[in-house]
Structures are given as structure tokens and as C-alpha cells.
Amino acid sequence: LFDKLRVHESYEHKWPSTLKVELKFQGTSVSSTRPAAFPIKFEDVDAGDWSALERRSAELAKTIIGRRTTDIIERVSIAAINFKPTRDTGPTVEELRAREENPIARALEQSEMKRLRDAALAAE
């Protein structure tokens, strides 16, 4: 399971999701967050099919519980967070899928964004 936590080289072709595991111990609550440990492809979560996310969540929970004494754990909650875009006007699902299918268009867009950032920094 620890091998599955590693980020693979093909990571840029997938959409990262942040999974948060919250363990409820006797009388206390401890949260553990593993950001982008399990990249999820859009196709895996289409049409309300969350089995890929559930499978990866279960793997993550097992790795965290495995480090602790399981007899004092009362409850394990897993939530998928970070589904919002990181910028104000985030790309749509269709735009993201198109980028995955067309790496040249994606590279051109990244180049244009870098050029605009560099121009903004030079203007300051």
C-alpha cells in the first residue's frame, strides 16, 4: 500500500484529488490529510460512479490505520476535498478533458500563460 502512495510519472495526465482521512479515537479526533496522493482520472468518476475514489480512499485509510493501534479507533471518515479550481475562473471538465487528449494545445496554453506572467512581472 505504501508503494501506491507514490506519485507516478504519468501524474500530469490525471486530475489530482485530495483525500482527507479523519480518525476518531477514544475521546479525541485526529485528522490526517494526504494531498494528491491518489490522482483520479475524470473517466473514473463520471456518471456518479465513485468506485475508483472509494477504492483509493480505502487504501489510504488502511495505510494510516496500519500505523496505529486499531483497537482504540472508534470511527474512520474519508472525504474527498479540493474539487474546486485553484484559480478564479477554473477550467470546465470539458476543457480539462480536451487538454488531456491534445497535449500540444495544452503546451501552447501553458506557454501563453507563462508569457503573460513574465510580461506582468516585467511591467512591475
| Secondary structure class of 36 (helix, strand, coil) | strand
Q: DSSP of 75-117, one letter per residue?
A: EEEEEEE--S-SSSSPPPHHHHHHHHH-HHHHHHHHHHHHHHH
Domain chopping of the chain, boundaries: 1-83, 87-124
pTM: 0.33
The total of other beta-carbon atoms located within 10 Å of residue 57's CB is: 21
What pLDDT is stored for residue 12 in this prediction? 41
Chunked into runs of 10 residues, the chain (124 residues) has average pLDDT values of 37 51 66 53 51 65 65 63 48 70 79 88 81
What pLDDT is stored for residue 80 in this prediction? 56
What pLDDT is stored for residue 69 in this prediction? 62
What pLDDT is stored for residue 108 in this prediction? 85
